């Protein structure tokens, strides 16, 4: 009872039922790439808290709090354990970026008209008012060079993170933030978080 009450007052106990934004097995859109059986991520709930290292300034931050509540859907891209941050060694990430920025993608369709505007002062939404990106790489911070990443992530340089912090809840994990969302192998994932954080 005490734990349940603490979860509720902290926001972690809030759970929204399946609806158009919270996927479920009854949702009208089904696809094999949508993970429906995760014990770590549950639609309609807050993302598990994780500490990561922000690459641009080496500060340890709470990943789930990094993107402000700005009305945008947040896309947390977990690159997976096999994706090296070295140039030319992250094909899946390059493919993802190319498809994300293609003219007919959802990201481009809801993009900003003027891509040449001052991205420095709008680092959370440089391309679209509807989506904010955060990239989490399973690597040590000194191994990551932002200029080696696909272009779309360079505009989000303040939202690139090294998953290099140990966590007592997943001590054996090679990358604790990945493990806390259920990723322990080479697979990556995109975690979509609603504008209200659930």
Beta strands in the chain (DSSP E): 51-54, 60-62, 73-78, 131-137, 160-162, 189-193
Q: Half-sphere exposure of residue 76, counting CA atoms within 13 Å on the CB side?
A: 28
Asked if residue 83 is part of any domain, the answer here is yes
Q: How far apart are CA 31 and CA 182, in angstroms?
A: 19
Indicate which CATH number applies to the domain containing 122. Answer: 3.40.30.20
Asked if residue 71 is part of any domain, the answer here is yes
| Segment 142-183, tens digit of pLDDT | 999 999 999 999 888 999 999 999 999 989 999 999 999 888
Q: How far apart are CA 60 and CA 98, in angstroms?
A: 29
> For the ranges 40-54, 126-140, 141-155, which has the lowest average pLDDT?
40-54
Asked if residue 42 is part of any domain, the answer here is no
Asked if residue 158 is part of any domain, the answer here is yes
- Contact by Cβ (8 Å): 129, 72: yes
pLDDT at residue 78, as a whole number = 92
Mean pLDDT of 36-44: 70
Instruction: Note down the domain range covering 76.
Output: 47-193
Asked if residue 19 is part of any domain, the answer here is no
Q: Count the domains in the chain.
A: 1
CB atoms within 10 A of CB 71: 11
Provide the 8-state DSSP code for 142: G
User: To the nearest whole number, what is the mean pLDDT of the chain?
Assistant: 81
Q: Per-residue pLDDT for 9 more than 70? A: no
Q: Per-residue pLDDT for 36 more than 80? A: no
């Amino acid at each position: 009872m005490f734990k349940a009450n603490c979860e509720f007052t902290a926001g972690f106990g809030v759970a929204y039922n399946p609806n158009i934004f919270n996927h479920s097995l009854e949702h009208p859109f089904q696809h094999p790439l949508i993970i429906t059986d995760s014990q770590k991520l549950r639609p309609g709930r807050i993302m598990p808290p994780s500490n990561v290292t922000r690459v641009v300034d080496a500060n340890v931050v709470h990943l789930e709090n990094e993107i402000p509540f700005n009305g945008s859907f947040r896309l947390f891209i977990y690159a997976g354990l096999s994706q090296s941050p070295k140039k030319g060694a992250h094909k899946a990430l390059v493919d993802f970026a190319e498809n994300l920025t293609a003219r007919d993608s959802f990201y481009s369709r809801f993009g900003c008209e003027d891509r040449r505007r001052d991205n420095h002062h709008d680092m959370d939404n440089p391309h679209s008012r509807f989506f904010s990106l955060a990239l989490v790489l399973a690597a040590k911070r000194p191994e990551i060079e932002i200029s080696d990443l696909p272009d779309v992530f360079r505009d989000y340089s303040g939202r690139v993170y090294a998953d290099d912090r140990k966590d007592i809840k997943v001590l054996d994990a090679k990358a604790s933030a990945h493990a806390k969302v259920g990723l322990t192998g080479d697979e990556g994932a995109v975690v979509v978080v609603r504008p209200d954080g659930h």
